[in-house]
Amino acid sequence: MSKKKERWGVVHIYSSYNNTLVHLTDLSGAETIARASGGMFVKA
């Protein structure tokens, strides 16, 4: 098993009728680490 550095963050999740937004920030909320939207992933 490889050892990886653990990181802490805050995940903001917003869900509406037809979309879901996931936004990962650092602990202060100032730096965006990752974000994803339900519209970004399409089942083909």
What ranges do the domains of the chain cover? 10-40
Put simply, whether the predicted model's pTM sits higher than 0.75 gets the answer no
Give the model's pLDDT for residue 38. 77
- 3-state helix, strand and coil shares in percent for the chain, rounded to the nearest 5: 5, 40, 50
pLDDT in the model for residue 44: 61
pLDDT for 1 beyond 70 = no
The answer to whether 24 and 35 are in contact (CB under 8 A) is yes
> What pLDDT does 10 receive?
92
Q: What is the pLDDT of residues 17-42, one digit of tens each?
A: 878 888 999 898 888 888 888 765 56
